[in-house]
Amino acid sequence: MKVFVAGGTGFIGYTIVPELINAGHQVLGLARSEAGAQSLIAAGAEVHRGNLEDLESLRSGAAKADGVIHCAFDHSAFGQDFSKFAEVCEKDKHAIEALGAALIGSDRPLLITSGTGMGNAAPGQPATEDHFDANHPNPRKGSEVAGASVAGRGVNVSVVRLPQVHDTVKQGLITYAVQVAREKGVSAYIGEGRNRWPAAHVQDVAHLYRLALEKREAGSRYNAVAEEGIPMREISAVIGKGLNVPVVSLAPEKAQGHFGWLAMFAGFDMPASSAQTRKHLGWNPTGPGLIADLENMQYF
């Protein structure tokens, strides 16, 4: 099929594009810059110029395709100022609504992106695909709310929920933990560091997106989780070794001063299961684990 990929020049999307092409699909990739356009062309994709703010460009791109993968997200909120996160999540809602508007009345699949945290039913229990809390305090829930809204208008919508997606260059929120450790001269965790973060290698995640798109099953949620939960103490230890800095435990009241905006995540216990996803899609992640990628990272 011809697949419109919004986010095809990003960390995950750049791996999804060749995954689709190698499986025999055509890719039409959204590009907001000439550099992005050239990277898509080099990967063997067609280029559709536009961006997440240009909703008409999203609608017209989706209208040209047999299916849509939306893995774009404005990561400008992940920096020194996290106050824009809710605004960025609102932008994602509008993007999903625009993409969906072009697919109403057809069975063409729209695969959107969310986070595994949306599936946490109770503290300490792994997030599951069959749970969603529309009242979740994380504004990222808006993506799934928007997906449900366009599904109600007759669009075939399914969701991929992401953990910390990694290779030896990027590792989701852990990338920012590395930056903090480098700046502060210590690699820290909170309390005993037993809180867990789920993870998956970027190549495995790209493979899951393809399988989910080809499944075309409306209403499905998939957890792209290879490792259910790695304790923060282990993550901090390998970062400390890589940077050659001490590894320390912080009292909860000192987390904000050390981590800044990352403090709101650093102490969360966020395990997630992919049992239903694996069974439903036959997905079997084989890529390196998070700790292995952190061990093989170039820290300097």
- pLDDT per residue as tens digits for the range 2-54: 999 999 999 999 999 999 999 999 999 999 999 999 999 999 999 999 999 99
For 166-198+228-272+286-295, CATH gives: 3.90.25
Residue whose pair of structure tokens reads 């792209």 in the numeric block: 224
Parse the chain into domains and list their residue ranges.
2-162+201-224, 166-198+228-272+286-295
Confidence of residue 123 (pLDDT cuts 50, 70, 90): confident
pTM of the model: 0.96
For the record, the structure tokens of 265 come out as: 């995540």
Helix (H), strand (E) at residue 281: helix 275-281
Q: What are the residue ranges of helices labelled H in 102-226?
A: 141-151, 173-184, 202-215
Cα–Cα distance measured from residue 200 to residue 68, given in angstroms and rounded to the nearest whole number: 22
List pLDDT tens digits, range 64-110: 999 999 999 987 656 556 678 889 999 999 999 999 999 999 999 99
The b/e string for 65-89 (b: 16+ C-beta within 10 A; e otherwise) is bbbbbbbbbbeebbeeebeebeebb
CATH 2.40.50.140 for the 2-162+201-224 domain, yes or no? no
